[in-house]
């Protein structure tokens, strides 16, 4: 059993990465071998609209035609038993790196037929973790909680069953006094980091367990 996780945050030791590591620990606790990939370390772009993956009789039919740092990981995904995606929420959406990754992940396997079919050679289970700096009430009011999960519908149709975890009101800085952040209460943020974020990590751990055991 193998599971591969992709960190869509530029930070390797903060909220998203910590949650993904917790999920990988959960997967490892039930026997899975895991790998964590930091997307910001890779030199790649989103879909280039070359349509090589759709060309009749083409050697690359059903495969992304771009060759870059992401290519070997797209090949690994084809044989993975489970996939983890994690991203902070920027301006109500996944990070640019994560969005570009999802384009490259899904589109080559998505056919322009009626109805659309999946060319994905396996059937991997997928866990997606999004973390918001905003409180839950704000995210819900503005519809971010719904819009951020829309990509999951495509992933589920093409790759396999998806389970999503949303984490709210995360801690953005070590020291709020160094930044202009008057809309946030530093004491409240610190308390939530201390009391609630460990619970979020535990939920991520349990998500990792479920991805392997289901």
| pTM of the entire predicted model | 0.91
Question: Percent of the chain having pLDDT more than 90?
Answer: 45
Alpha-carbon radius of gyration of the chain? 18
pLDDT one-digit tens code per residue, 52-85 = 888 887 678 888 889 999 999 999 998 899 999 9
Each as own residue / partner, the long-range contacts of residues 109-112 (CB below 8 Å, 24 or more positions apart, any chain) are 109/53, 109/62, 109/158, 109/159, 110/154, 110/157, 110/158, 111/54, 112/54
In this prediction, residue 58 carries a pLDDT of 66
Q: What is the mean pLDDT of residues 38-63?
A: 88
pLDDT at 112 over 90: no
Return the biggest CA–CA distance within the chain. Answer: 61
> What topology is assigned to 2-213 in CATH?
Rossmann fold (3.40.50)
Residue whose token pair is 């006094």: 177
Beta carbons of 173 and 179 less than 8 angstroms apart = yes
In the chain, where are the structural domains located?
2-213
pLDDT one-digit tens code per residue, 157-200 = 889 899 999 999 888 888 888 888 888 888 888 888 889 999 99
Q: What is the mean pLDDT of residues 17-21?
A: 95
């Amino acid at each position: 059993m193998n599971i591969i996780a992709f960190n869509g945050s530029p930070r390797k030791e903060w909220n998203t990465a910590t949650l993904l590591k917790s999920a990988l620990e959960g997967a490892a606790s039930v026997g899975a071998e895991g790998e964590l990939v930091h997307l910001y370390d890779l030199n790649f772009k989103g879909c280039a609209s070359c349509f090589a993956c759709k060309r009749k009789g083409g050697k690359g039919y059903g495969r992304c035609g771009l060759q870059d740092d992401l290519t070997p990981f797209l090949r690994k995904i084809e044989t993975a038993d489970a996939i983890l995606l994690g991203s902070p929420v920027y301006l109500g959406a996944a990070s640019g790196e994560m969005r570009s990754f999802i384009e490259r992940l899904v589109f080559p396997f998505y056919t322009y037929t009626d109805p659309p079919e999946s060319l994905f050679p396996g059937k991997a289970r997928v866990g997606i973790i999004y973390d918001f700096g905003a409180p839950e009430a704000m995210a819900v009011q503005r519809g971010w909680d719904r819009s951020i999960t829309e990509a999951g519908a495509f992933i589920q149709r093409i790759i396999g069953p998806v389970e999503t975890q949303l984490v709210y009101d995360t801690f953005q800085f070590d020291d709020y006094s160094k930044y202009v952040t008057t809309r946030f209460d530093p004491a409240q943020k610190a308390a939530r980091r201390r009391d609630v974020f460990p619970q979020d990590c535990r939920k991520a751990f349990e998500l990792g367990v479920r991805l392997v055991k289901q």
